[in-house]
Structure 1
Amino acid sequence: MIIRVRSVLMFLVAAVFLIVTACSGQSPNPKTTQPLTPSEKEHVKTPAIDKPTKLVVYHQWGMTTEGFMNLYGKYVTKKYPNLSFEVIGTSAGSLEQLVASNTNVDFIFHTELNLNSMISLGISTDLSDLIKTYKYDMEKWDPSVTKYMREFNDGKIPAIPLSLQTLAFYYNKDLFSKFGVPFPKDNMTWDDVRDMSLKLTRNDAGTMYWGYDTQNVGTKMLVNPLSMPIVDPKTDRSAFETDRWKNYITQMITPARIAGVTPAEGSKLDMFIKGQRLAMTSTMNSNFTMFAHSPGLNWDVANYPTLKEAPGVGPQPEIVMLYIPSTSKNREAAFLAAAELSSPEVQRELSMDGQQSVLRDSAIRDVFGARLSELNGKNAKALVPAKLAEKMPYSKYVTIGSGALTTAYNEVADGKKDINTALRDAAEVTNKKIEEQKSMTGK
């Protein structure tokens, strides 16, 4: 799994970090997370923060307090002027160290992959009581988010989702023009990508050009559009030795194998940005900021290609969350701040600034990047899939499986193993590592 940081979209870059956590012990109340009735919505408790309160935000990827205020805090303090924020990072210590020293933290930025870490550290919480008290409507979230949030922690809600990120499909317009190949269009399939890769992979006047390759293999597994589990959460065993997984990986590999980019060529992003010899790539939709600030790169974006067996369905989202640890000294104020950041009004503002909304409202999705000059003339709407795939069932061992799948993908792409052998070996590695981790933790 994978999390990333960008200068404009700091929060979107949630690189996967394994900090370790344990459950708060609160029992889930199924009623608190059910859709609100019209009468319930009419009797929402009026929130009040009647004294100066500072909320401490833990963000280990370099965001400053000023940066947080410019991106998010300004919207919260407009509604709650008694609130202020302080952002701390790894210079203040690891999360484990902060917990051990009883340092107060009110928010932890991370994706859904951080749940196990929260539980292992003993700071996971359940916000269901506050969701009920303030009649917070979870149904406003994108359906893929709502369903996942209700299920991934046995009905307990440890965080409020802030934004989404997923894969996008980028291309170099100059290389398409150079070789007379029509630009990629929205609603392509991976067969279309294969055909374009074949036309664009060539040696021209002694310079080698490649059609397609990807930077984020592990993410392709984690956000696969078929919602296939990587690890079965019921058995804690690998779940990818199936015909559907083989077919999916084959479709992903084929256009890259045609291009034949070897590991010796280096980073695929460097080949796309600096060398400008890679015509197409798939990477996170937040990476548009990197491309926009790369001199001489004439790039654009198309809808992420869909699978023949799932037409029109985009990848799964990674959910960037505001975790509120059980140790927070300002739990209710933190909840109200998170609720405000996920409100339609603020989500519209964030969408205009290029952050993918967690809400189901298509009007908010349609204004994505509207305030960003770097997206002028670009197919910006293609960065946000109209329909996201459902999230796969949560497993605390999913990053073990995705790592093994990444190795399998690369072995097949490089011609070192066939798909059956690679997946069988990956399953053995996954199951062995899961057992090792269980023996170490006793769980």
Structure 2
Amino acid sequence: MLSRTINASLLSILLLLPALSGCSSDKPAVTKEETADLSKVGNEPVALIFKSDFPDDQDVFNRYYGDRIKAKFPNVTINFLPRIQGQGIQDLLNAGTYPDVMYGKLNGIDALLIDTDLAYDMSELDKKYNYDIDRFKPQLIDAVKNTNPEGKLFGLPMPDFDPQVLYYNKALFDRFGVPYPKDGMTWDELFDLAKRMTRSDGGKVYRGFSSQQGVIMRDNQLGIPYLYPHGDKMFNDEDWKKQFENLARFYQIANNNRDTKNRSAGIESDTFNKGDVAMQVNQLTKFRNFPDGLDWDMATIPTFKEKPNTMNQASSAYCFITKTSKNKDVAFKVITYLLSDEVQADYAANLAGIPSLKASDKAVKTFGQNVPQLKGKHVEASYKYDLAPAPPQRDKGLIRPDPNKIGNAINNAFLKVVIDGVDINTALRQAGEDIGKAIDEKRK
């Protein structure tokens, strides 16, 4: 009897040792007996509802996700719900349709998950299956955890199809005998080059620079958030002033101002396609819309002197499992497969998606190699630099206004500066008031 008691005690101590040795780690240790086996999950027929927060259709969904899921999990049936009129998330919930998996960007997480009370902390499944979230880039994990004051893991990061780069028109640089832009340029150096490339020739005006200012502001390299982390108000005016001053000066170059009759971000973004703009800072996906005759290449996004080798904040999409899903384990298995090393390498080679993985050297070596539009292009420019830090976490109890209204307040303020000639301080003051109204509206 005594021998059994001693053996049992020793066994208890031995089982406890791994947990004690793991105390210094951020991730709680899980013993073999406590760890569930994800490979045994979902071998029976099951149906999952996937809801997109993007304007993709069934064909696009199948090309990116559906065909892969069907091949890997023949027992899993996927019902895909696109983002179309009448199928918004609230429409679905009102009709009693509850998605298992949703995917979209973090600027839509409030309407999609938080306001609908569908948000689910996926760290529960991470611990259950001892899944290593440290394999992802830390900025991507910080970004999703910082969407809520408790730091819950509401989603896992998908490959990034939207890193920002500097596109340039090789034909215009050749025409005017100016060397091409290079990796590692600062915004100041780019400004000098934009002045040099803005000119009138043969009765035609050529602009030196244009941009998609909305994404430059939202995913800015300085890590400036829209909202103050410790109060319900716009973040520091002085920091935003620096961001405005940096970009606005390009539009104040003679002959380089944007269309003063149209405030659409899309109109300005499309100017590079026409062949009379020398350079543009935009997201990588923009190349898919370039006309065949456009002679272009890319360099790294220009950087700030105080933030060398730093690109934009993460613009990845995320996969979310809903709190109401009855098939969370199967959904987790499917998602982790889509985010596996081999699948992300396939995204990189065939779809030009930057892996969300911390260690992705193998994948980026084949980045874009099977994408016809990227043949011979300097694709390294899209992943050469490290991501800017994620926006900070806000305190518990603060109001979460509609992020689209907040972003519009900033963008409208910038347009007032570059189109209407309003001084930056006045424009930012108005932005602060508009953000305050959005906060009050959400509070009510």
Higher Cα radius of gyration: 2
Residue identity in the other structure for 2:145: R
What is the Cα deviation at residue 91 of structure 1?
5.7
- In 2, the alpha carbon distance for the partners of 1:192 and 1:38 equals 52
Match of 2:153 in 1: 157
Task: Return 216-225 or 204-213, whichever deviates more.
Answer: 216-225
Residue identity in the other structure for 1:251: N
- In 2, the alpha carbon distance for the partners of 1:41 and 1:233 equals 41
- In 2, the alpha carbon distance for the partners of 1:319 and 1:201 equals 33
Match of 1:18 in 2: none
Q: Is the 8 A contact 2:184 2:303 kept in 1?
A: yes
What is the Cα deviation at residue 98 of structure 1?
0.6
* Residues 260 and 334 of structure 1, relative CA distance in 2, 3 Å threshold: same
* Residues 64 and 54 of structure 1, relative CA distance in 2, 3 Å threshold: farther
Q: Is the 8 A contact 1:40 1:135 kept in 2?
A: no
- In 2, the alpha carbon distance for the partners of 1:426 and 1:132 equals 42
Match of 2:50 in 1: 57
What is the Cα deviation at residue 40 of structure 1?
7.0
- In 1, the alpha carbon distance for the partners of 2:317 and 2:272 equals 27
Instruction: Report the 3-state secondary structure (helix = DSSP H, G, I; strand = E; otherwise coil) of the residue aligned with 2:270.
Output: helix
Residue identity in the other structure for 1:386: Y
What is the Cα deviation at residue 415 of structure 1?
5.5
Match of 1:420 in 2: 425
Q: Is the 8 A contact 1:317 1:389 kept in 2?
A: yes
TM-score by length of 1: 0.84
What is the Cα deviation at residue 197 of structure 1?
1.0
Deviations 1:146-171 (A, max 9, x none): 22333332232222221223322111
* Residues 277 and 286 of structure 1, relative CA distance in 2, 3 Å threshold: same
- In 2, the alpha carbon distance for the partners of 1:178 and 1:124 equals 54
Gaps of 5+ in 1: 1-30
What is the Cα deviation at residue 283 of structure 1?
1.6
Match of 2:302 in 1: 305
* Residues 132 and 269 of structure 1, relative CA distance in 2, 3 Å threshold: same
* Residues 278 and 63 of structure 1, relative CA distance in 2, 3 Å threshold: same
Q: Select the residue among 63, 68, 79 that pairs with 1:86.
A: 79
Instruction: Report the 3-state secondary structure (helix = DSSP H, G, I; strand = E; otherwise coil) of the residue aligned with 2:165.
Output: strand
2:354 maps to 1:349: no
- In 1, the alpha carbon distance for the partners of 2:183 and 2:140 equals 24
Question: After the TM superposition, which residues 271-310 of structure 1 pair with which residues of structure 2 at under 5 Å, given as runs?
Answer: 271-273=271-273, 275-291=274-290, 294-310=291-307
What is the Cα deviation at residue 367 of structure 1?
2.6
Match of 1:23 in 2: none
* Residues 239 and 37 of structure 1, relative CA distance in 2, 3 Å threshold: same
Q: Is the 8 A contact 1:184 1:302 kept in 2?
A: yes
Q: Is the 8 A contact 2:145 2:154 kept in 1?
A: no
Match of 1:435 in 2: 440
- In 2, the alpha carbon distance for the partners of 1:42 and 1:281 equals 53
Residue identity in the other structure for 1:194: F
Match of 1:225 in 2: 221
* Residues 403 and 77 of structure 1, relative CA distance in 2, 3 Å threshold: same
What is the Cα deviation at residue 438 of structure 1?
1.4
Match of 2:9 in 1: none
Residue identity in the other structure for 2:122: L
Q: Is the 8 A contact 1:60 1:88 kept in 2?
A: no
Task: Return 354-363 or 52-61, whichever deviates more.
Answer: 52-61
* Residues 200 and 155 of structure 1, relative CA distance in 2, 3 Å threshold: same
Question: After the TM superposition, which residues 39-438 of structure 1 pair with which residues of structure 2 at under 5 Å, given as runs?
Answer: 45-47=37-39, 48-59=41-52, 61-89=54-82, 90=84, 93-117=87-111, 118-153=113-148, 154-164=150-160, 165-214=162-211, 216-242=212-238, 244-258=239-253, 259-264=256-261, 267-273=267-273, 275-291=274-290, 294-353=291-350, 354-363=352-361, 364-393=363-392, 396-397=400-401, 398-414=403-419, 416-438=421-443
* Residues 221 and 314 of structure 1, relative CA distance in 2, 3 Å threshold: same
* Residues 269 and 146 of structure 1, relative CA distance in 2, 3 Å threshold: closer
Instruction: Report the 3-state secondary structure (helix = DSSP H, G, I; strand = E; otherwise coil) of the residue aligned with 2:302.
Output: coil
* Residues 240 and 385 of structure 1, relative CA distance in 2, 3 Å threshold: farther
What is the Cα deviation at residue 61 of structure 1?
4.3
Q: Is the 8 A contact 1:196 1:211 kept in 2?
A: yes
Q: Is the 8 A contact 1:130 1:332 kept in 2?
A: yes
Residue identity in the other structure for 1:384: Y
Instruction: Report the 3-state secondary structure (helix = DSSP H, G, I; strand = E; otherwise coil) of the residue aligned with 2:207.
Output: strand
Greater than 4 Å deviation, 4+ residue runs: 36-44
Q: CA RMSD in A?
A: 2.4
Instruction: Report the 3-state secondary structure (helix = DSSP H, G, I; strand = E; otherwise coil) of the residue aligned with 2:309.
Output: coil
- In 2, the alpha carbon distance for the partners of 1:402 and 1:385 equals 27
Q: Is the 8 A contact 2:417 2:424 kept in 1?
A: yes
Residue identity in the other structure for 1:218: G
Q: Percent identity?
A: 28
Q: Is the 8 A contact 2:348 2:367 kept in 1?
A: yes
Gaps of 5+ in 2: 1-22, 395-399
* Residues 210 and 251 of structure 1, relative CA distance in 2, 3 Å threshold: same
TM-score by length of 2: 0.84
What is the Cα deviation at residue 37 of structure 1?
5.3
* Residues 371 and 394 of structure 1, relative CA distance in 2, 3 Å threshold: farther
Aligned length: 403
